[in-house]
Amino acid sequence: MKHNFGAGPGILPHEVLKQAAEAVVDFNGTGLSLLEISHRSPEFEAVLNEAVSLVKELFSVPEGYSVLFLQGGASTQFALAPYNLLPEGGKAAYLETGVWANKALKEAKFFGDVEIVATSKESNFTYIPKDYTVPADAAYFHITSNNTIYGTQLHQFPKSPIPVVCDMSSDIFSRTVNVADFGLIYAGAQKNMGPAGVTLVIVKDDLLGKTGRKIPAMFNYQVQIEGGSMYNTPPCFAIYVSMLTLKWLKAKGGVPAIELENNAKAKVLYDAIDSNPLFKAVAAPEDRSHMNVCFVAENPEHEKPFLKLCDEKGIVGLKGHRSVGGFRASIYNALPIESVNVLIEAMNEFAEKNK
């Protein structure tokens, strides 16, 4: 058995993979593969409608918001958010907490002024800035809820006098969220919701159409809303697998239930790291991510032999990002606590052998 701690594409529930594999051969008894049916067919329209309905149910999406399944990854949303929300000659505010937040603010500069309200760049993004003021004259305030590379997470979302735009790519559906506190939420699917190839967008309708600029159809949220996420051929397979994953999550008790599991996994793993003399967590304790647990070996020479031991035990995807080094245990929704325990056992065994 493999224990997949990879940062993304991340682990998916086994039952979801099994259903998806069957659908590739014969989708719902149609005699056709999911990969070859028309996206305009009643069978696929039912899939898309169910996926949208599940997002609204699991996140308690209020009236006045639209749910979209788009292509291009969250990186495309770095540009589409300001394209659709930042008026010509306007300003946007950004919280810089890592590589992806930095890339997002760089894209926004194509459409207007950008104010970085706070940054933790000087510490290699090991913490989340706290003491800052959101400018009331900006069109929106952009945040990144979880930082996969550095293992930090916003455990409390900021109060803002302007609409909040949030990249939730790496912790979407991992914890309860009040959607009404946000003007726009976007997330690449490939951490907690499905495979790479589709991006979830939840946008407040009354924020749209106010930029004063013409937006090409494919990049226009309003056009995509009117087209029901099918202005062009959507990524059918990725949407189907996302729908199955959302059904799996609902059957487990929804977001509140998985949040309890995620908190338990994070606590037991951080406790093990803190009590092990050979390892050290990277992020500030109050900002530690419940999705991406980043840690290093106290002795850098222990890194390769520990990874070798992990490989022998079926633990994969543990090597840290090159900008941080060490190890990164991504403990997304579908990773069972049994896998976390296997990792902890490996850490303890390694410590015992290297006293």
Q: Tell whether 29 is covered by a domain.
A: yes
Given this model, what pLDDT does residue 267 score? 98
Which class for 196: exposed (0-12), middle (13-18), buried (19 or more C-beta within 10 A)? middle
Given this model, what pLDDT does residue 199 score? 98
How does residue 175 score in pLDDT terms, banded at 50, 70 and 90? very high
The CATH number of whichever domain residue 348 belongs to comes to: 3.90.1150.10
The CATH number of whichever domain residue 147 belongs to comes to: 3.40.640.10
Are 150 and 325 contacting, i.e. CB atoms less than 8 angstroms apart?
Answer: no
**Cβ neighbour number for residue 141 with a 10 Å cutoff:** 24
Q: How many domains does the chain have?
A: 2
75 labeled binding residue: yes
Give the domain-ending residue among 224, 251, 278: 251
Q: Answer whether residue 10 shows pLDDT above 90.
A: yes
133 labeled binding residue: no
What is the Cβ-side half-sphere exposure of residue 287, based on CA atoms within 13 angstroms?
22
> Residue type for 111, please?
F
Q: What is the pLDDT of residues 244-277, one digit of tens each?
A: 999 999 999 999 999 999 999 999 999 999 999 9
Q: Answer whether residue 48 shows pLDDT above 90.
A: yes
How does residue 346 score in pLDDT terms, banded at 50, 70 and 90? very high
Question: How far lies 114's CA from each of 93, 100, 139, 181, in Å?
Answer: 6, 15, 10, 22
What is the Cβ-side half-sphere exposure of residue 230, based on CA atoms within 13 angstroms?
14
Given this model, what pLDDT does residue 33 score? 97
Contacts 24+ apart (CB under 8 A), 51-56: 51/239, 51/240, 51/242, 51/243, 51/246, 52/229, 54/243, 54/246, 54/247, 54/250, 55/200, 55/202, 55/246
Q: Tell whether 3 is covered by a domain.
A: no
Task: Say how far apart CA 16 and CA 243 lie, in whole Å.
Answer: 9
- Calculate mean pLDDT across residues 2-29: 97
Given this model, what pLDDT does residue 295 score? 98
- Calculate mean pLDDT across residues 65-72: 98
Q: Tell whether 42 is covered by a domain.
A: yes
Q: Let me know whether 128 and 67 are in one domain.
A: yes
Give the H/E segment covering residue 304: helix 303-312
Give the H/E segment covering residue 18: helix 14-25
Q: Answer whether residue 36 shows pLDDT above 90.
A: yes
299 labeled binding residue: no
Q: Let me know whether 173 and 157 are in one domain.
A: yes
Compute the CA torsion angle 21, 167, 173, 188 (nearest 10 deg).
0
Q: Let me know whether 221 and 315 are in one domain.
A: no
Domain encompassing residue 146: 14-251
Given this model, what pLDDT does residue 265 score? 98
Given this model, what pLDDT does residue 291 score? 98
The chain-wide mean pLDDT, for the chain, equals 97
Which class for 31: exposed (0-12), middle (13-18), buried (19 or more C-beta within 10 A)? exposed
- Which of 167, 171, 247, 265 is catalytic? The answer is 167
Q: Let me know whether 32 and 159 are in one domain.
A: yes
Q: Tell whether 269 is covered by a domain.
A: yes
Buried b (16+ CB within 10 A) or exposed e, 206-227: ebbeebeeebeeeebbeebbee
Q: Let me know whether 164 and 243 are in one domain.
A: yes
Q: Let me know whether 339 and 226 are in one domain.
A: no
211 labeled binding residue: no
Task: Say how far apart CA 301 and CA 306 lie, in whole Å.
Answer: 9
Q: Tell whether 235 is covered by a domain.
A: yes
Q: Tell whether 261 is covered by a domain.
A: yes
Q: Let me know whether 184 and 307 are in one domain.
A: no
How many degrees, rounded to 5, is the angle at CA 170 between CA 166 and CA 173? 80
Are 91 and 115 contacting, i.e. CB atoms less than 8 angstroms apart?
Answer: yes
Q: Let me know whether 310 and 214 are in one domain.
A: no
Q: Tell whether 106 is covered by a domain.
A: yes
149: tokens are 């590379």
Give the domain-ending residue among 234, 251, 268: 251
Q: Answer whether residue 233 shows pLDDT above 90.
A: yes
Given this model, what pLDDT does residue 299 score? 96
To the query of whether residue 287 is one of the catalytic residues in this protein, the response is no
Q: What is the pLDDT of residues 306-341, one digit of tens each?
A: 999 999 999 999 999 988 999 999 999 999 999 999
Q: Which residues pair with 65 in a beta bridge?
A: 204
Given this model, what pLDDT does residue 355 score? 80
Given this model, what pLDDT does residue 1 score? 84
In this prediction, what percent of the chain has a pLDDT beyond 70? 100
Q: Let me know whether 29 and 174 are in one domain.
A: yes
Given this model, what pLDDT does residue 154 score? 98
233 labeled binding residue: yes
Q: Answer whether residue 139 shows pLDDT above 90.
A: yes
pTM for the full model? Answer: 0.97
Q: Let me know whether 172 and 277 are in one domain.
A: no
Q: Let me know whether 24 and 88 are in one domain.
A: yes
- Which of 2, 26, 56, 100 is catalytic? The answer is 100
97 labeled binding residue: no
To the query of whether residue 248 is one of the catalytic residues in this protein, the response is no
74 labeled binding residue: yes
Give the domain-ending residue among 213, 235, 251: 251
Q: What is the pLDDT of residues 204-216, one digit of tens each?
A: 999 999 999 999 9
Q: Let me know whether 112 and 216 are in one domain.
A: yes
Q: Tell whether 130 is covered by a domain.
A: yes
Q: What is the pLDDT of residues 277-309, one digit of tens each?
A: 999 999 999 999 999 999 999 999 999 999 999
- Which of 171, 191, 204, 248 is catalytic? The answer is 191
